Structure 1
Amino acid sequence: MTANPTRVVAQGTFDLLHPGHLHYLREAREYGEEVHVIVARRANVTHKDPPILSDEQRLEMVAALNPVDEAHLGHLEDFFVPIERIDPDVILLGHDQYHEEEAVADALAERGLDCDVRRASGRESREDELLSTGRIVERICEDRCQ
Structure 2
Amino acid sequence: MSRTVVAQGTFDLLHPGHLHYLADAKAMGDRLHVIIARRDNVTHKEKPILPDRQRRDMVAALDPVDDARLGHEEDIFVPIEAIDPDVIALGHDQHHDADALREALSGRGIDCEVARASAREPEYEGELLSTGRIIDRVCDERC
Q: Same fold (TM over 0.5)?
A: yes
Describe the SS at the equivalent of 1:71. Answer: strand
1:137 corresponding residue in structure 2: 135
Does residue 41 in structure 1 map to residue 19 in structure 2? no
Q: Distance in 2 between matches of 1:111 and 1:16?
A: 32
- Whole-angstrom CA distance in 2 between matches of 1:72 and 1:91: 15
TM-score normalised over the length of structure 1: 0.96
Is residue 2:27 matched to residue 1:30?
A: yes
5+ long unaligned stretches in structure 2: none
Q: Which deviations, in whole Å up to 9, do the C-alpha atoms of 1:14-69 show, x marking residues without a partner?
A: 00000000000000111010000000000000110000000000000000000000
Equivalent position to 1:111, from 108, 113, 117? 108
1:76 positional shift: 1.0
- Give the TM-score normalised by structure 2: 0.98
* Residue segments in structure 1 that go unaligned for 5+ positions in a row: none
- The runs of at least 4 aligned residues of structure 1 exceeding 6 Å deviation read none
**One-letter code aligned to 1:25:** L
* Deviation per residue, 1:47-100 (Å, 9 max, x gap): 100000000000000000000000010011101000000000000001111110
- Give, in whole Å, the separation in 1 of the partners of 2:110 and 2:44: 26
Partner SS, residue 27 of structure 2: helix
Q: Give the length in aligned residue pairs.
A: 142
Distance 1:108 1:144 in 2: 44
The share of aligned pairs that are identical, in percent, is 66
